[in-house]
Amino acid sequence: MKLLVWLILIVLVVLAIRKKAKPPSTPSDTAQEWRGATADSDAQPATESMVCCAHCQLYLPASEAIVRGSQSYCSTAHADLH
């Protein structure tokens, strides 16, 4: 039984050392893997501004908002209430 415990401990230590010895991936490598190999390396992920519904205070992407006057709403039902 003691031998089994020592064997497991040795395996865990070896795995931890191998993980530490592996060079860390750079953020650009990770981003390129995420976007795929054909993506342009200088391209930034698209961001979109968020707006708040004037009725329920829910934040949603500006492209999905219903705009009435200067106010943004999450649905036509909320826009019709005002």
pLDDT in tens, 27-50: 655 555 555 655 555 566 688 999
For every residue of the chain, which 3-state class applies, written as one string? CHHHHHHHHHHHHHHHHHHHHCCCCCHHHHHHHHHCCCCCCCCCCCCCCEEECCCCCCEEEHHHCEEECCEEECCHHHHHHC
Q: Against a cut of 0.75, is the pTM above it?
A: no
The mean predicted confidence, pLDDT, of the chain is 83
Q: Residues 48-73: what's their mean pLDDT?
A: 94
The predicted pLDDT at position 40 comes to: 54
Greater confidence (26 vs 51) lies with 51
